Amino acid sequence: MLPAPLRLLRPGDWAKNVFVLVPLVFWLAGEGRGAQPEQIAEQLWHVALTVIAFSMAGSGFYAVNDALDFEEDRKHPTKRRRPVASGAITPQFAITIGVALVVGSIAVAWCVRPAVLAVIGTYIALQVARHTFLEFFSSKF
């Protein structure tokens, strides 16, 4: 079993972020067909950083969500095993790690290119909306 801090980040969900490979495949099939090895290496580096940025943002929101929902999670048959709900990690630690990861994801995205920063920013805005407004309204109806 993974240590609690690593389980908090849900590394199994990082595989979802391979969707960022799709533009690279199309670039290689089209404009990048005759690209020099350095150009391909640069594109691969950008893709790797983008995967890292999305993984950091996703893990950050998982950590914050687990910290905010730990009391409800303790009542759930499987969620009660999560690091915060089980008491292996404090909610404060989870929030600190979560916020640091989200901020770090912005920094990593900024290093790639403006479009990646815009997409990460949109993802973060949607997650904040989901965790605040949408959950609030869904609990009322």
Domain count, the chain: 1
**pTM for this entry:** 0.88
Those residues whose C-beta lies under 8 Å from the C-beta of residue 39, and which sit 6 or more positions away, are 32
Tell me, yes or no, whether 115 lies in a domain: yes
CA distances to 29, 63, 85, 91, 132 from 139, in Å: 47, 21, 21, 22, 11
Could you give the CA distance from residue 14 to residue 80 in angstroms, rounded to a whole number? 22
Per-residue pLDDT of the chain (141 residues; tens, 9 = 90+): 789 999 999 999 999 988 888 989 999 999 989 999 999 999 999 999 999 999 999 999 999 999 999 999 999 999 999 999 999 999 999 999 999 999 999 999 999 999 999 999 999 999 999 888 876 666 665
Rounded CA gap, 97 and 64, in Å? 8
Chain-centre distance for alpha carbon 70: 19
8 assigned to some structural domain: no
The answer to whether residue 6 sits within a structural domain is: no
CATH number for the domain spanning 94: value is: 1.10.357.140
Range of the domain at 38: 16-140
